[in-house]
Structure 1
Amino acid sequence: MTHQLEVRNLSKQFSSPGGPFRRARVMHAVNDVSFDLPKGRVIGVVGESGCGKSTLARLILRLIEPTTGTLHFEGQDLRAKSAAEMRRLRADMQMVFQDPYSAIDPRYTVARAVMEPFEVQGRKPQGSAAEEVDKLLSMVGLNPGLAGSYPHQISGGQKQRVGIARALALRPSLLVLDEPTASLDVSVQAQIISLLEQLRDDLGLTYLFISHDLSLVRYFCDEILVMYLGRVVEALPDTGLAARHPYTKTLMDSTFAPDPAQRRVIAPLEGEVPSPFNLPPGCAFADRCPQASDLCRTQTPELAARDGHAVACHHPL
């Protein structure tokens, strides 16, 4: 299977300068992340807020620069590309942002927002601009009559569809979806996911899907990466597999089941999430893990694969 995206040992550190009353600190927002995204597949990235999911998304598109690691897209070394080369290459790898309300310039009409990628890349559509706008809006299930509307005149779900249409304008092959349904009502979320599934089938797209909703990721994605404080702690090659990391199991157990017969009482996690500026030695999850041992508190577990299922845990389930 061809790997469209290859990520190796990707890390990003943010520094906090010191001062008269504080010392300089370093935060490992993304720490030694590696994975392959095959063409036509959907990989989901899940974890609590602050675990590094959105930072990872921006690193992959080089919207922010990695500290260390390598990125290859369709065999091309992204870290070796100049800013101008990356701008051209981003026509093939686009992003759909979490907040549709801030992703579109409020001064732009829907038509201008959808045509913005052509302006940025200095390209012209095959037909007229109006024909291209109508085609893209129809592709994402919007009435072309909305082309003259401004963002404040359309709903959140419609704004997100405009964001998807804009991302598809230059016919990319890879979409990085940064929690595209997080700010939408549940019914609208279902519509957006259905649209993304249809577009994937129709256009042969590859998705990196960032979310904190594990049940949604298990439904929509082919594989799952689970992140905790910047690290991948488990990589499930199949969404139907049982969790082997205690953190992943806690995430799965916390998923709401609408059927009362399937609901269960689970023990809440004890302890606090460590500060990303001051990570303890060993496993960052150790203070919250009921299975933690002295080894967990002194030695960081490596992400080790068995039968394609990788887990970073000294005592996997």
Structure 2
Amino acid sequence: MIFSYRIGDRWALNNIGVPVQGGRLTLLTGVENKLFGLLGGILAGLFPIEEQEPFPQIEDLIQDFTGSLKVTEGKLPETAIYLGPDPEKHLLFSRVDEEIFAQTGRKKELEQVLEAFCLQEMLLRRKISTLSGGEKMKLALSIAFSKSVDCLVLHGVLPWLDREGKLRLIAKLRGKLVEGRSVIVLEQEIDELKRIAHRTLYFNGSQIVRFDDRLHERSQVEMKEVSERIHTELGGMGESDEILRFKGVGFSYENRGTGDFALNAVSFTLHGSKVYGMVGDNGTGKSTIAKLILRVLKPQEGNIYFLGRALPLFKRGEIVKSVCYVGQFPEQHITLSTVEQYRTRARKMGNTLSEQMLGRLFPGEKSYPVSQLTPLQMKLVLLLSSIHADTRLVILDEPTWGVDRRGEIELLEVFFHILRKVKSLSLLIISHDIGYIERLNAEVLLVEHGSVSWFPRTDSYTDSSCGVST
């Protein structure tokens, strides 16, 4: 299929060729900009949408999706499903059983839908708001794979999945290919997908070209280089005092009903001037630990100490200055409309570090509307607007979500520049991308079965395969 897509008076995508063929999987990787996201929606028949009436207030927000499409060769699939990188945008109801029934029309055997990605039957009675990000993505995938369509388009789903989920996804994709369906996957984590892809293509920001393994290899070298610079800078910060300690911490979500999640007697210690990674299956409590550190949640047993003091003794403002958190869904934490407003706020609060770093990354007189930022840029805005000279711990929760290889390196480059302006700082990365954590040479914490333990090697981390073989 060859197509062009016009936005306003310009061709945003011109003569784009993507194989759309039954029983074939096309893998697209490359620059993760707005056009990359548009590609998936166009191929699934979502865009362009028809503009019913002009609304000047939202014209800038919808102009990318109300363009004009010109197909010069081939045709769009008759029926298609698109699943994007934010699972919450695909889940509209309160409870899991309501969501499955609404999207599939099944009144019975709802548990069979969940089985597609090894989700337990007890989840049917759970509120979707209580699911982890990974569980939400598995639910969205389970629903998508339960439908019979000509073409399946997936964009950015892998960062949400643990090892079990990734193995299951590969198996389900193979099943769709055997059925003769067309599959298009837009991803940055491509190593496993390349094994089953019939074509792997690269999007350079405006055009699709042949994929070159050397680009992938070069990014890995650059990642290693920036990682080494970070560790060198950390090594020059002197003694690594204790900054965070969990001692016998227990926590459970009482409103989850049957199968409540729990952290049981969790104990671990983080020191200053270190890089840490936290891994584990979906729903085991990685993000819950972050919320406990931020005092969004309170432990029901045990104690948490920060900088040698019991965490409850800290005022909210002290926590905000000492711990910088960038979450899974950056847009949920954005409270201002433009980057310029964040710079102004930093200046008024006397946060010189934040003001300087925002000015360095977003230079000039432009206001930079948040609505026009990429996921990477939103993560950087959150990081730089939250950083202080007194910050001692930065937590990046699923930092590879919505970010290409170049973006991963840029994020670490920004962290490196922050390191050069503070006295002592540690980094905690919560991620399912084991390779990313390994390339950072991080000390690894494994969360499983309600406990946390130090993990000697990231490359030996595996989870149960749910009966899936590779």
TM-score (norm 2): 0.44
- Cα distance per residue 1:39-94 (max 9 Å; x no partner): 1111110112211111101101211111112111111111344xxx2333331122
Determine the structure 1 residue equivalent to 2:169: none
- Alignment of 1:137 with 2:376, yes or no, is no
Instruction: Report the CA distance between 1:198 and its aligned residue.
Output: 4.2
Determine the structure 2 residue equivalent to 1:102: 332
Instruction: Report the CA distance between 1:189 and its aligned residue.
Output: 2.0
Taking the aligned partners of 1:44 and 1:6, their CA distance within structure 2 comes to 16
Taking the aligned partners of 1:96 and 1:147, their CA distance within structure 2 comes to 24
- Cα distance per residue 1:250-288 (max 9 Å; x no partner): 25xxxxxxxxxxxxxxxx72459xxxxxxxxxxxxxxxx
- Alignment of 1:218 with 2:444, yes or no, is no
Determine the structure 2 residue equivalent to 1:192: 411
8 A Cα contact 1:97 1:178, kept in partner:
yes
Map residues 35-114 of structure 1 onto 2, 5 A cutoff.
35-81=268-314, 85-105=315-335, 107-114=336-343
Map residues 100-249 of structure 1 onto 2, 5 A cutoff.
100-105=330-335, 107-114=336-343, 116=345, 123-125=349-351, 135-138=356-359, 142-145=361-364, 148-169=367-388, 171-200=390-419, 202-203=421-422, 204-232=424-452, 234-236=453-455, 239=457, 243=460, 248=461
- Alignment of 1:31 with 2:270, yes or no, is no
Map residues 3-14 of structure 1 onto 2, 5 A cutoff.
3-14=242-253
Give SS of 1:181's match.
coil
Runs of 4+ in structure 1 over 6 Å off: none
Structure 1 or 2: larger helix share? 2
Taking the aligned partners of 1:31 and 1:114, their CA distance within structure 2 comes to 42
Instruction: Report the CA distance between 1:223 and its aligned residue.
Output: 0.8
Identity between Structure 1 and Structure 2 (%): 26
More displaced, 170-179 or 44-53?
170-179
8 A Cα contact 1:93 1:172, kept in partner:
yes
Instruction: Report the CA distance between 1:170 and its aligned residue.
Output: 5.3
Cα gap change, 1:10/1:200 in structure 2, threshold over 3 Å: closer, same or farther?
A: farther
Taking the aligned partners of 1:80 and 1:183, their CA distance within structure 2 comes to 36
Taking the aligned partners of 1:27 and 1:117, their CA distance within structure 2 comes to 41
Give SS of 2:427's match.
strand
Cα gap change, 1:154/1:229 in structure 2, threshold over 3 Å: closer, same or farther?
A: same
Taking the aligned partners of 1:28 and 1:116, their CA distance within structure 2 comes to 39
Give SS of 2:391's match.
coil
8 A Cα contact 1:99 1:183, kept in partner:
no
Taking the aligned partners of 1:133 and 1:35, their CA distance within structure 2 comes to 30
Residue correspondences, number:
229
Cα gap change, 1:151/1:229 in structure 2, threshold over 3 Å: closer, same or farther?
A: farther
More displaced, 192-201 or 208-217?
192-201
Q: 251, 269, 280: which one pairs with 2:465?
A: 269
Instruction: Report the CA distance between 1:32 and its aligned residue.
Output: 2.2
Determine the structure 2 residue equivalent to 1:275: none
Give SS of 2:277's match.
strand
Letter in 2 for 1:77: A
Taking the aligned partners of 2:465 and 2:319, their CA distance within structure 1 comes to 43
Give SS of 1:145's match.
coil
Cα gap change, 1:15/1:116 in structure 2, threshold over 3 Å: closer, same or farther?
A: farther
Instruction: Report the CA distance between 1:101 and its aligned residue.
Output: 2.6
Instruction: Report the CA distance between 1:116 and its aligned residue.
Output: 4.8
Cα gap change, 1:133/1:145 in structure 2, threshold over 3 Å: closer, same or farther?
A: farther
Instruction: Report the CA distance between 1:25 and its aligned residue.
Output: 4.0
Letter in 2 for 1:96: V
8 A Cα contact 1:118 1:170, kept in partner:
no
Flag the structure with larger Rg. 2
More displaced, 169-178 or 203-212?
169-178
Give SS of 1:135's match.
helix
- Cα distance per residue 1:2-28 (max 9 Å; x no partner): 2111111222111138xxxxxx54623
TM-score (norm 1): 0.63
Taking the aligned partners of 1:50 and 1:92, their CA distance within structure 2 comes to 27
